[in-house]
Structure 1
């Protein structure tokens, strides 16, 4: 048996990441030779590479568990489901960006490649089985994200967004790395199974301190309180398709990372990290519900909405049970559909090269564009948690897991903040259906139509066929316990 025969089976579990990496290298060379004329070809090539990686993920047996790279990389049911969501989010972000970037004359072949590199980092985050692999994936994802936040170089707000994201992101990465070094120092291992074994024998103040610092880094990537401060400014300043990307795929990877770290590495000290997650969840739900009430900018509104939704998803993680993790997976999948659908509508609010981003710009949308208004209303009702739309079931699963785990106060606070948050979601519906129109908007681009259509099918019809997602989420949760 030669070296190639040994290496290829060992790297088999990382086939989706290898497809993305090879694809990125090929597309970079193509773009470098063809120059700016290659933008369209690189975008299409990136979509093809993402689809191939998605096919590689879903073709693996859902229930199998495989490790490679000396145990640093794991592929199980949880990884496969969350990777699928990440790849879908990245592909949708590319579809959302195409039309606007061409009209703004900022279409460059580097953008889809940066999305591709960020996606590689996210997939590594999902499958990381030790602290070093986790940090490598996190940094690869973050470095590409810093660049695309300021991709519109001639726009002051975009440049400011990229700088804020970079400075605060570097701080959070340092905190996470410091926490990881403390955990390694007190357990003698960086691998999650090794940490589990060490904590069964002893756990001191140093480990708890390390968990606190790791939690801070994870909370920043999730945009959870109290490390949410970058979110509204970056969401508002970055180009809208970039904002849609930040609100979708990286959220899937960050939540998967949180579940992988706390459930996979620290089950022996659940009582310790559970207190942190409960606090972060309550604070995020409260801030996301109350701070959004006064917002007039749609992108800032979606920023606070994302903070609140992260809080709801963390309810499932706080439960620390198989039912809780299943609730997290279901919630994040439905949140992905709701968010992408909402941003598809926001990106369609344009007249010529003039983009509109305020709530008042939705005035009378039901009379000028009735179908778009109806679908956005469904997204808002779903985000508010109104049955029978998908958002209701997303909250139902995480609240049920919290109640089963005895976290009654957390579940009650989640219900109360959901009622408060419904106000600003329903306000958008009121503006669309009861205010006087300010003029029509241009027809939606094909990419926006595709994303809005698929998202709407999930949000509106989930209650008819919930079994595929619920079943996949159940398999994903069981693979961690």
Structure 2
């Protein structure tokens, strides 16, 4: 029996990151108490190494390896690059916050890198088993990160709820994959596509499998009605962990959708399109209405995330390259806005105080006009108000929906977005028109100050020049295996 040596080059970033996780764990074990910042520096080095290796191993075409279970294409390379940058920014924003709360240790950073590894595997998966392995590696790391604050009842409760509902969603996905395997006789995404196109399978069994897969994906995206975990996890977990959960995994979830629905089940678009319409409308409706009643800003942002994921699904349900690139553009913009918003929450937090109430933003303009301006830009972008990039994200998705012939759906999306404007502008009102409740100084680290300013200004800059980012997303979709 001949064993064919696989081409390891497409998986060099994953191999390097796995080795660096081991280095972080060993270094923390040996010198963690003496040098608590060592794990942070090694993690940033690991992410920088992944950027360089991914850039060096990127190929112009589509490369398959490991018997067709792993793919390297433009979509994988670009999404991975975005994941590295996002996780790196999360670590910079989180460093002071976790240090004052006794969480600056190898556990936090190794779990973050393990979760990053899971995202990379998800993005490059071309086989159902590879997709599931990447998803579980990400999910298990996130469960543990939520529960890191052992002295917090809220964090423990959130972790248990996250774990139980996550296990249920994983069961949905596994059952859906098994149904598709039963109908097509394969777990390879390319082979599944071929069998579906020939029509040599039971369509009913296939549709049942698709229903369960869409349900599992919806949980990972926190789309309604599978959103139950998001508000409690966002409120209960530490802000640093919430920032991680709310940013990079959304990029990986988009890659997961592209591999499963767009690539593997693209010829069944008529079957899953209706499901996505229902999920998108419910997400925008529940997310925007429930967010109005919240007084905790993290909980409000959880419902905001649910409504944003509804917009992401609008782009996907169009079922064409233009819709997919619009959806990818929306996800990237959402991650940029989320990084800045939670970065601001951690900036206003201090030892023994969590700035997680809306009232904590009162009078921010009098305390620090620059950070109030940054937060204003982020809220305007979240609401989709010109000249920030949020308006272009919404317009690109709405254009894809109109091109698909769903005029009524575009109208519903616009009307529901108007509800969201209220609770975003409420924060602007608190910052500029209310008296501050504290005169505590805002003294961020130099790198946080610079990065947070760049984050906020990027929202404005991409609003004036969105073409480059849009073209990048279109290139990723056009030169992928989809």
Same fold (TM over 0.5): yes
Does residue 1:115 correspond to 2:112, yes or no? yes
Q: Specify the alignment match of 1:429 in structure 2.
A: 428
Q: Give the one of 76, 83, 89 matched to 1:92.
A: 89
Q: Specify the alignment match of 1:445 in structure 2.
A: 445
Structure 2 Cα separation of the partners of residues 302 and 37 of structure 1: 37
1:96-115 deviation per Cα after TM superposition (whole angstroms, max 9, x unaligned)? 22111111123221110110
Q: Give the one of 100, 115, 118 matched to 1:103.
A: 100
> Relative to structure 2, which stretch is displaced further, 219-228 or 410-419?
410-419
Q: Specify the alignment match of 2:76 in structure 1.
A: 79
Q: Specify the alignment match of 1:323 in structure 2.
A: 322
Q: Specify the alignment match of 2:288 in structure 1.
A: 289
Does residue 1:127 correspond to 2:141, yes or no? no
- After the TM superposition, which residues 406-425 of structure 1 pair with which residues of structure 2 at under 5 Å, given as runs? 406-425=405-424
User: In the superposition, relative to structure 1, how do residues 378 and 40 fare at CA in structure 2: closer, same or farther (>3 Å)?
Assistant: same
Q: Specify the alignment match of 2:215 in structure 1.
A: 216
Structure 2 Cα separation of the partners of residues 450 and 72 of structure 1: 41
In the alignment, structure 2 segments of 5+ residues that lack a partner are: none
Does residue 1:359 correspond to 2:358, yes or no? yes
Contact 1:168/1:230 (<8 A) preserved: yes
Structure 1 Cα separation of the partners of residues 390 and 278 of structure 2: 23
Contact 1:19/1:53 (<8 A) preserved: yes
- After the TM superposition, which residues 10-409 of structure 1 pair with which residues of structure 2 at under 5 Å, given as runs? 10-61=7-58, 63-202=60-199, 203-409=202-408
Deviation at 1:349, TM superposition (A): 1.6
Structure 2 Cα separation of the partners of residues 308 and 78 of structure 1: 25
Deviation at 1:39, TM superposition (A): 3.1
Deviation at 1:445, TM superposition (A): 3.1
Give the secondary structure class of the aligned counterpart of 2:464: coil
Question: Could you tell me the TM-score, scaled by structure 2's length?
Answer: 0.96
Contact 1:196/1:266 (<8 A) preserved: yes
Give the secondary structure class of the aligned counterpart of 1:94: helix
Question: Could you tell me the TM-score, scaled by structure 1's length?
Answer: 0.96
User: In the superposition, relative to structure 1, how do residues 132 and 58 fare at CA in structure 2: closer, same or farther (>3 Å)?
Assistant: same
Contact 2:97/2:349 (<8 A) preserved: no
Q: Specify the alignment match of 2:477 in structure 1.
A: 477
Contact 1:50/1:87 (<8 A) preserved: yes
Contact 1:381/1:389 (<8 A) preserved: yes
Q: Number of matched residues?
A: 476
Deviation at 1:60, TM superposition (A): 4.4
Structure 1 Cα separation of the partners of residues 56 and 400 of structure 2: 30
Structure 2 Cα separation of the partners of residues 82 and 106 of structure 1: 29
Contact 1:20/1:120 (<8 A) preserved: yes
> Relative to structure 2, which stretch is displaced further, 27-36 or 76-85?
27-36
Deviation at 1:297, TM superposition (A): 0.3
1:103-157 deviation per Cα after TM superposition (whole angstroms, max 9, x unaligned)? 1123221110110000000011111111000000000001110000011111111
Deviation at 1:451, TM superposition (A): 3.6
1:193-244 deviation per Cα after TM superposition (whole angstroms, max 9, x unaligned)? 1111111122511110011111111111111111100000001100100000
Contact 2:100/2:350 (<8 A) preserved: no
Contact 1:344/1:451 (<8 A) preserved: no
> Relative to structure 2, which stretch is displaced further, 239-248 or 33-42?
33-42
In the alignment, structure 1 segments of 5+ residues that lack a partner are: none
Deviation at 1:35, TM superposition (A): 4.0
Contact 1:288/1:306 (<8 A) preserved: yes
Structure 1 Cα separation of the partners of residues 105 and 303 of structure 2: 30
Structure 2 Cα separation of the partners of residues 415 and 237 of structure 1: 31
Structure 2 Cα separation of the partners of residues 305 and 88 of structure 1: 23
Structure 1 Cα separation of the partners of residues 35 and 24 of structure 2: 9
> Relative to structure 2, which stretch is displaced further, 262-271 or 29-38?
29-38
Structure 1 Cα separation of the partners of residues 450 and 295 of structure 2: 27
Structure 1 Cα separation of the partners of residues 53 and 388 of structure 2: 31
Structure 1 Cα separation of the partners of residues 152 and 387 of structure 2: 42
Structure 2 Cα separation of the partners of residues 177 and 51 of structure 1: 34
Contact 1:330/1:470 (<8 A) preserved: yes
Structure 2 Cα separation of the partners of residues 318 and 264 of structure 1: 13
Alignment RMSD (CA, Å): 1.6
Contact 2:24/2:42 (<8 A) preserved: yes
Deviation at 1:38, TM superposition (A): 4.5
Contact 2:389/2:464 (<8 A) preserved: no
> Relative to structure 2, which stretch is displaced further, 121-130 or 74-83?
74-83
Contact 1:40/1:109 (<8 A) preserved: no
